[in-house]
Structures are given as structure tokens and as C-alpha cells.
């Protein structure tokens, strides 16, 4: 028996409502998407949902507070908590450039966490 799931695409602000028909974990049909990225998002969302994680890490600098960081690519949703836990223990020394790797292979996802701003 097939199952229908509604997915709201978060790739862009259009927010397409995409209907996905699934049977035994296989996608039978997709409708309502308006671009290829939306199609891919809906496929991932029902099989293995992924998100870009954005957070902060501690900064070893005088006036500094925290440094904004992000995962270079989306990571599985189920790994978000573990990634946050790992990043809790990371602190970075200035100067930092946007794009510098802050933590390699976060939570065993194979994805690096990078700085998302310069700090001199």
C-alpha cells in the first residue's frame, strides 16, 4: 500500500508544497515541485533528511565573544545534536578567515565545519 507525504520545500522562500507517494520506502511519484533542487530536497526529505547546521564556537580573543560557524554542506538531521555536542568543546584563536576549517568531519558525517566570518 502506498503512502502520501507532504513536504514543504525549504530551499528557497517560495516554499513549494511537494506531495511524495511512497511504497515500502520507495518513491513512486512526486508532484508540486517547481525546480530540480526542490525535487532533490523532497527525495532527501522522505529518505534521509539533511540540514545545514549553523551555530557558534568560542573564540580565544580579547574583545571576542563567539564566532559564527556552519557545516560546509547539509548533514543528516539525526546528527545535529551530536554535532552541537562536539562543537561545544571547540575554541578558535584569532585571526580567523571566513571559510577556515574549524572542525573536520563533524559527528562522523564527513562534512567539515567552517567559519562564516572573518575575525582579526
Partner 1 sequence: MLYKDLVIIGGGPAGLAAALEAAEQGVKDVMIVERDSGLGGILQQCIHNGFGLHVFKEELTGPEYAQRFIDRLENTGIEVLLDTMVIEITQDKRIFAVNSKKGVLEIQAKAVILAMGCRERTRGALNIPGFRPAGIFTAGTAQRYVNIEGYMPGKEIVILGSGDIGLIMARRFTLEGARVKCVLEIMPYSNGLTRNVVQCLEDYGIPLRLSHTVIEIHGKKRVEGVTVAKVDENLKPILSTAEFIPCDTLLLSVGLIPENELTKMTGADFDANTQGPMVNQWMETSCEGIFACGNVLHVHDLVDFVTMEAKLAARGAARYLKEKDGAYRQMSVIAGEGLRYVLPHAVGVEKMLDEKQNFFMRSTRPMKKAKLAIESENGTIKTKMLSYVKPSEMINIELGKSEISKAAGHLKFILQEEGASDE
71 neighbors 105 (Cβ within 8 angstroms):
no
Residue among 1 and 63 whose Cβ is closer to partner 1: 63
Nearest distance in Å: CB 41, partner 1? 11
What the block records as the C-alpha cell of 27 is 518513491
Nearest distance in Å: CB 12, partner 1? 5
Binding footprint of partner 1 on the chain (CB under 8 A): 8-13, 15, 17, 51-56, 58, 65-66, 68, 70, 77, 80, 84, 98, 116-118
Residue among 21 and 82 whose Cβ is closer to partner 1: 82
| DSSP E strands, 1-120 | 3-8, 17-23, 26-31, 50-51, 54-60, 66-71, 75-76, 91-93, 101-103, 113-115
Rounded to 5 degrees, φ, ψ at 38 are -65, -40
Residue among 29 and 118 whose Cβ is closer to partner 1: 118
Nearest distance in Å: CB 45, partner 1? 10
Amino acid at each position: 500500500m502506498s503512502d502520501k507525504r507532504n513536504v514543504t520545500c525549504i530551499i528557497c522562500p517560495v516554499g513549494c508544497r511537494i506531495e511524495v507517494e511512497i511504497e515500502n520506502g520507495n518513491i513512486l511519484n512526486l508532484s508540486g515541485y517547481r525546480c530540480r533542487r526542490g525535487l532533490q530536497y523532497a527525495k532527501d526529505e522522505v529518505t534521509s533528511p539533511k540540514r545545514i547546521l549553523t551555530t557558534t564556537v568560542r573564540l580565544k580573543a580579547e574583545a571576542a565573544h563567539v564566532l559564527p560557524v556552519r557545516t560546509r554542506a547539509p548533514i543528516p538531521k539525526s546528527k545535529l545534536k551530536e554535532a552541537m555536542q562536539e562543537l561545544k568543546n571547540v575554541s578558535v584563536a584569532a585571526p580567523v578567515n571566513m571559510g577556515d576549517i574549524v572542525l573536520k568531519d563533524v559527528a562522523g558525517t564527513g562534512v567539515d565545519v567552517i567559519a562564516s566570518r572573518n575575525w582579526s
